[in-house]
Amino acid sequence: MNIIVRLILKSANLCFNDEGEMLKKTGLTSFLILLSVLVFLSSCSGGDEIKISEFSPGENNIEVVFSNDIAPADTVGKWSDTGFLTIEPHVSGKYKWLDSRTLYFSPDAPLEPIQQYSVKVTNKVLFNKDIKVNFDEQTFKTKSFEVLGADFFWSPQKEDKSLNIQVNLKFNYPVAPENLKKYLEVKLNSE
């Protein structure tokens, strides 16, 4: 910027003494025109463009941090139904601004395991302000469904001299036992 200002001053044929007084006045019109162009170009530099500076999907939430303050002070800390994000496959939930740059999304139900999601920030985050934005689509995948552990218990049955076996399975996601029954298969000696 300093080089551009010197170039403009030189092209306008202006000189200044040690007290900052202008010595030559030739080219004052050219100087003002060039200075106006410089001001215009610096306003178009995109310095006020709002971007996503951090995208953090959690196990059951999404946090988006923007490069600039964006949310009005009266919205910070309050839950909202406003669709600040478009999530595919669709996920409904609530939003809260943690501060003027940080948007927090809490889904109504846990995110599906082994699912690829795409997230787009909508212009609703601008609160009707005319601001230049650059919101790239964000993607993430939830964790695979895993068995974290199994506890086996057995007890003999006196009536028919058989064994009663019980297994407690621990998963990384909540599991409805009635749904799990469809996918379980018990085998003894590979049969």
- Per domain, the residue ranges of the chain are 2-43, 50-141, 147-183
pLDDT at position 163 over 50: yes
Mapped onto helix, strand or coil, the DSSP state of residue 143 is: coil
How confident is the model over 140-160, as pLDDT tens digits? 999 887 889 999 888 888 888
Q: What is the CA radius of gyration of the chain?
A: 32
pLDDT at position 96 over 90: yes
Tell me how far apart the alpha carbons of residues 67 and 54 are, in angstroms, rounded to a whole number: 8
- Which residues lie below 8 Å from residue 72, measured CB to CB, with a gap of 6+? 100, 127
Among the four given CATH numbers 2.40.50.140, 2.60.40.1220, 3.30.70.2860, 3.40.50.80, the one describing domain 50-141: 2.60.40.1220
Confidence of residue 31 (pLDDT cuts 50, 70, 90): low
Confidence of residue 75 (pLDDT cuts 50, 70, 90): very high
Confidence of residue 187 (pLDDT cuts 50, 70, 90): confident
How confident is the model over 103-132, as pLDDT tens digits? 999 999 988 888 999 999 999 999 988 888
Write out the two tokens for 72: 């009005």
Per-residue three-class SS string for 8-42: HHHHCCCCECCCCCECCCCCHHHHHHHHHHHHHHH
Task: Return the amino acid letter for 38.
Answer: L
